Chains A and B, each alone.
Chain A
C-alpha cells in the first residue's frame, strides 16, 4: 500500500486567504470580510481571515463567528440559558437599539482580542491523517502548515481532508 497523501499534496496557498495585522480594528476587519470574502466571486471556504504580527508570523484566524462574538454586548454575554425564560424572547428584540451603540464601540477594539490563536500546526511532510486528527479533535476547519516550525507555507482545509480521506475509504 502506498504511504498515502501528505499535507504538502493538498495544502492551499496562504494568499488564497485575506491577511490582516493584529492591530486592525474589528471595524476594519469587517470591511475586509465584506469586500474580500462575501463580495468576491470566488468561493471562500472556510470564511476566515488570517491574522499576522509585525514580522509576518501567523497569530490566529478570524471568522464571522469571532466578529459576531466580539460585537456582542456584555449583558448578553452574561446571560446564560438558565436565566432566560424560554417564552421571553421580547427582551432580546428590544435590545437591538442599545446593542448597536455598545457594539459600535466594541468594533474599535483590535482583532487580536477576538481571534482564535493558532496553537496547532502541521509540517509539509506530515501525513494527511495527522492533519485530519488535529482538525477533528480541535474543531478546526483550517490548519496552518509550517516549514521548520517557522516559515508559514500553506494551509490545510477540512474540505481537502474530507475529499482525500473519503475517497480512500470509498475505494478501499
Chain B
C-alpha cells in the first residue's frame, strides 16, 4: 500500500525522534505530489506496518503535518492532503544579523556559567535530543554602561561542538564561533517572543523588583535538519526595542 523506499525508513539509531523522522518522510510524499492534494492518506495501521512504528508515533507525525497545514483531519472520514494556506512566495527569510541583537549594541559581558548539564525538565524536547545527551550550558549577563540589560542562557548539545565548553564566550558571539571557527552554518532560527515575569534570581541579576514584567525571547537554532542550540534571553523591557528585518526569498 505505502511506498517505503530504502532511504525513507525510520532509523532507530538516529538521534532524531521517530515521529520527526516519520513526519519528514510523509511531508516529502506530499511535497513530491506522491500524495496529491485532496487524496486520503492511509490509515494508522498501514503506517505502523510499513514503518514498524507505534500508533502513537504515527499520530504525532500526522498531528504535526496537520498543524503545519499539510493535512486536514475530517471526523469519521479520514485524513486528507490539503492545499497549504501559506503560498511559497510569501515565505520570508530574515537576515540573521538583525535578529541577533548582540550586534550593533556595545555590550559588556559577564560569563556567569559555562558548564555541562543533562536535559532537565523539558530541555530534551526543546533541543530535540534524547534524555541521555550532555548539554553545554552558558549563562551570560549583558550590560550597557555597567547596567545589566539582558540575561542570556544558552543550551548546546555537547556532541554538536565540544570545544565550546572551553572557549572564551565573553566577547565572542556564539553565532560567530559556530560559523567562523567550527564551520557550523546556521541555516534557520525560530524565535518566540513573549512577556514574562522575572524569577527571583533573574530579578536580582537584572536589578529589577521581583516578578517584574520582562521580555522573554526563546530562539531555536538549526543547521540544516539538526538543531544545534536553544537560547533563552530575558530582557529589561525598558531597554529594548525589537527590530526584525525581512528579505524576500529570491525565486527563479
Contact = CB atoms under 8 A, between A and B. Distances in A.
A151 B134 CA distance: 18
Given A18-B132, A40-B132, A32 B118 contact: yes
Interface in A109-151: none
A35 B131 contact: yes
A19 B114 contact: no
Contacts of B117: 19-21, 24
Given A28-B121, A31-B120, A53 B115 contact: yes
A56 B112 CA distance: 12
Interface of B: 112-121, 131-132, 134, 137, 139, 158, 165
A24 B121 CA distance: 11
Given A36-B132, A40-B132, A54 B118 contact: no
Given A15-B158, A20-B118, A36-B118, A54 B131 contact: no
5 contacts: A18-B134, A36-B118, A52-B115, A53-B115, A56-B114
B114 A54 contact: yes
Nearest to A18: B118
A15 B118 CA distance: 11
A28 B120 contact: yes
Of all A-B residue pairs in the complex, the 5 with the closest CB atoms, nearest first, are A54-B113, A35-B131, A19-B116, A28-B120, A56-B115
A61 B228 CA distance: 28
A35 B114 contact: no
A36 B134 CA distance: 10
Nearest to B139: A54
B121 to A, nearest CB: 7
A48 B53 CA distance: 33
Contacts, number: 52
Contacts of A42: 132
Contacts of A32: 118-120, 131
A21 B123 CA distance: 15
Given A35-B132, A42-B132, 12 more contacts: A15-B134, A18-B118, A28-B121, A32-B118, A32-B119, A35-B131, A52-B116, A54-B113, A55-B113, A55-B114, A56-B114, A56-B116
A21 B131 contact: no
A114 to B, nearest CB: 16
Given A15-B158, A19-B117, A36-B118, A56 B132 contact: no
B153 to A, nearest CB: 12
Contacts of B115: 19, 21, 52-56
Counting chain A CB atoms within 10 Å of each CB, which of B112, B134, B165 scores highest?
A: B134
A39 interface: yes
Contacts of B114: 54-56
B249 to A, nearest CB: 40
B166 to A, nearest CB: 8
B120 A24 contact: yes
A20 B52 CA distance: 35
B42 to A, nearest CB: 32
A95 B131 CA distance: 34
Interface in A39-68: 39-40, 42, 49, 52-56
Contact of A36 (B121, B131, B158, B165): B131
Contacts of B121: 28, 31
A15 B136 CA distance: 12
A56 B113 CA distance: 8
Interface string A22-39: 001000100110011001
Nearest to A33: B118
B200 to A, nearest CB: 13
